[in-house]
Amino acid sequence: MVDAAVIGLGYVGMPLAQAASRAGLSVVGFDIDTSVVADLNAGISHVDDLQDRDVAEMLALGFSATSDPGRLSEADAIVICVPTPLADDGGPDLRHVEAAVATIAAQLRPGMVVILESTTYPGTTDEVVRPVLEADGLIAGRDFHLAFSPERIDPGNREYGAKNTPKVVGGHTQACTDAAAAFYGRFVDTVVPTRGTREAETAKLLENTYRHINIALVNEMARFCHDLGIDLWDVIAAARTKPFGFQAFYPGPGVGGHCIPIDPNYLSHSVRARLGYPFRFVELAQEINSTMPGYVVRRAQDALNDDAKALKGSTVLLLGVTYKPDIADERESPAVPLARQLVAHGATVLYHDPYVEDWRALGGEIKRVDDPLAAAEDADLTILVQNHSGYDVAALADAARRLLDTRGVVPVNERVQRL
């Protein structure tokens, strides 16, 4: 028998498995991707937050990866950490969750704890997961425990990880909440129980909707502050000195990652589908944030106009194409629609990113440069899209013919503009 089985060995599942293994739990990881399983069992990591040495440590502690669903029957607790991408209708695509639940149902036994961590709309645990698990006669809350606990992994965050980030837990019954909380309590510092699964599901959506809306606020302010000749970055620096009632958010070329561009849509879709009216804040925020790459293109045109150049025929260098600094994760990166629109306007686009050797945006037609300083000297316009810590932004600003800084880290001068 093992203490825990983790289904889905990606950005969420692997840090969870690592924290549990380090706390002394016996853990098996399940994934349908046999190449991922083989790499992990060979001590090779495929996610940013874990190095090969971390996987080797997990293996030494007894962790193993498998594609054999029969191994799930050995687990006292099973945690579902599979992707929930956005479906065509704006809601979550639950195919991975449904497949995982069907796999668990075939191995379910009395006394098990089953926990869904994949982000989704309120009601999924009770309406989608529970009926499948109960189909053969076992009842949630009586024969096995069922709960939802939203993942809160922040890739690249060196301060907060699976162990010291508080874990929200909501069960189908109070006994389910208690069982899931006891499981997480073995390797997570703080467990936060909620009234039920729907509250836990909605808590995750509120967290990311809050960020989505506030990012949209400063993105819209960036536009009119530029038109009014106001330095928004200086405004934010001044406002954040207030010790209460204000949290700083910053503008950028768009939002990216596996949460902010996706999760608020689950809540908006659920409200429309169930209640018949819009979640207006979310839909407006989505509209504003999704148009930021286009706004950056217009600013690029203006910057080139200052040199009496057109965007068409100009060479534009993009620095940093991942969705956040110092990781290789490209999911939903705003660099993709930015590059697409620049190419559509006739620009020749090049890129550099220390974490991305082969960028498949636009079918891989955008070429990588090896030396960003030399490329900035040659390009008609350089756009700092992502501020990786390895970039010497002062040197890049000196080298560039003209630079558009979307991250507010380069002092403005006659050749440097900030978003």
* Residues designated catalytic: 259
- 47 contacts 17 by C-beta, under 8 angstroms: no
Contacts by 133-138, CB closer than 8 A, 24 or more apart:
133/101, 133/104, 133/105, 133/108, 135/105, 136/105, 136/108, 138/108, 138/110
Query: Smallest Cα–Cα separation from 404: which of 302, 275, 274, 289?
Result: 302
Strands 145-148 and 348-352: unpaired
- 121 contacts 152 by C-beta, under 8 angstroms: no
Query: At 330, phi and psi to the nearest 5?
Result: -105, 5
Dihedral (CA of 222, 223, 225, 229) sign = positive
How far apart CA 131 and CA 101 sit, in angstroms, is 10
Q: How long, in residues, is the chain?
A: 419
How far apart CA 16 and CA 47 sit, in angstroms, is 12
In angstroms, how far is CA 13 from the centroid of its own chain? 13
Stated as kind and residue range, the H or E segment containing 275 is helix 263-275
Place of tokens 């189909």: 135
Dihedral (CA of 2, 6, 9, 12) sign = negative
Q: How far is CA 4 from CA 35, 72, 113, in A?
A: 22, 9, 9
In three-state secondary structure terms, 96 is helix
Helices (H), 126-254: 130-133, 174-184, 197-228, 232-239
How far apart CA 399 and CA 257 sit, in angstroms, is 30
Contacts by 179-182, CB closer than 8 A, 24 or more apart:
179/113, 179/145, 179/147, 180/77, 180/113, 180/115, 180/145, 180/147, 180/149
In three-state secondary structure terms, 408 is coil
